[in-house]
Amino acid sequence: MTNPFLSVHPEVEAALAEGRPVVALESTIIAHGMPYPQNVETAFRLEGAVREAGAVPATIAVIGGRLKAGLDAAEIEKFGAGGKTVRKISRRDLPIVAGLGLDGATTVASTMIIAGMAGIRFFGTGGIGGVHRGAAQTMDISADLQELAHTDVAVVTAGAKSILDLPLTLEYLETLGVPVIGYGTTEFPAFYTRDSGLPVDYRAETPEEIARILHAKWGMGLSGGAVIANPIPESHAIPRREIDPLIEQAVMEAEQQNIRGKALTPFLLARMETLTQGRSLISNIELALNNVRLAAWIAVVWEELRN
Ligand code: PSU
Ligand code: MN
């Protein structure tokens, strides 16, 4: 059955039809996660890294109401230049932008949805959303977690920033039945730092192992995604004693200014960038490159297992 709202880029469509590996990339990281023009440059570098690792990149966004799997250079430039003026869209927003012919930058959740519709199983990004600190009062839990429970896409991430409540985020993923696999690590990474003191479900040493786990999951009919937790390269990690006080400050400012809902994560990300004087941006770019490469390596082996 064809999906009348979906537009798959011809190169991506050909790769999928021929059983070649494809890796999805998100557009919220471009529009809301980084400043212009580094965001556009990064988007192109991420696509290049996926190609070098042997897969076809599909950057995902909604343009004029079309759910796009695979953007051309002009479209990426438009999202990057638009920055925060581009609507940030999650699952609940998809019918609004598709129905009314609007543009939207896709989060982890909505990128997974569109990837899933196109038949793409692997997605590399920076950080995922999770359970926010104070969620017991605010109930602010990212829709990314529910999506991981339901949609058959594995997400390679450097963990989650400790702007979130990491222990509760992992509890929530356990409840939803989402495997959390560490790549060369027994600890869930905390984005800027390689460790968090919190355990992953399994430490995988190779992309092959991860591909076998996913092949088994989907092969036995267990729907839903997985979190592939890939620590930031050592050379770009920021020591915890430096980053933790800044995170505390950003979270406190958000509370004082009563920032909530979908504005909260972009606010915290922007504050972190300012408070680290741009250092967090470089870390962010390097860990994203590291993640999309791993996503491509896993996708390559998974296609071999499947064929
Ligand atoms: N965390 C990061 N970088 C990001 C995001 C989260 O470290 O770019 C973005 C992703 O697009 C993620 C979204 O899906 O924020 C989560 O937003 P929310 O918390 O509103 O669900
Ligand atoms: Mn939220």
Ordered domains of the chain (ranges, CATH): 6-306 (3.40.1790.10)
Q: How far is the CA of 97 from the centre of ligand 2 (A)?
A: 19
Give 247-300 pLDDT, tens digit per residue: 999 999 999 999 999 999 999 999 998 999 989 899 999 999 999 999 999 999
Contact 38, 285 (CB under 8 A): yes
Ligand at minimal distance from the CA of 107 is: 1
Whether 1 shows a pLDDT value over 70: the answer reads no
Give 44-94 pLDDT, tens digit per residue: 999 999 999 999 999 999 999 999 999 999 999 999 999 999 999 999 999
Probe target for ligand 1 pocket from 107, 145, 157, with the most ligand atoms within 8 Å of CB: 107
- 127 pocket-lining for ligand 1 (C-beta < 6 Å): yes
- Closest to 122 measured CA to CA, from 39, 218, 221, 236: 218
Looking at residue 307, its pLDDT comes to 85
Burial of 73: CB neighbours in 10 Å, binned 0-12, 13-18, 19+:
exposed
121 backbone dihedrals φ, ψ, rounded to 5°:
-105, -10
Contact 159, 173 (CB under 8 A): no
Bridge partners of 61, per DSSP, are 68, 105
Q: Is 174 a catalytic residue?
A: no
> Ligand 1, closest atom to CA 130?
19
Contact 9, 44 (CB under 8 A): no
Q: How far is the CA of 127 from the centre of ligand 1 (A)?
A: 6
- Closest to 120 measured CA to CA, from 145, 156, 174: 156
Distances (CA, A) of 107 to 61, 123, 195: 9, 12, 24
pTM of the model: 0.98
Give 156-202 pLDDT, tens digit per residue: 999 999 899 999 999 999 999 999 999 999 999 999 999 999 999 99
Ligand at minimal distance from the CA of 260 is: 2
Give 190-240 pLDDT, tens digit per residue: 999 999 999 999 999 999 999 999 999 999 999 999 999 999 999 999 999
212 backbone dihedrals φ, ψ, rounded to 5°:
-65, -40
Nearest CA, atom 18, ligand 1: 142
Q: How far is the CA of 294 from the centre of ligand 2 (A)?
A: 27
Q: Is 26 a catalytic residue?
A: yes
- 142 pocket-lining for ligand 1 (C-beta < 6 Å): yes
Whether 114 shows a pLDDT value over 90: the answer reads yes
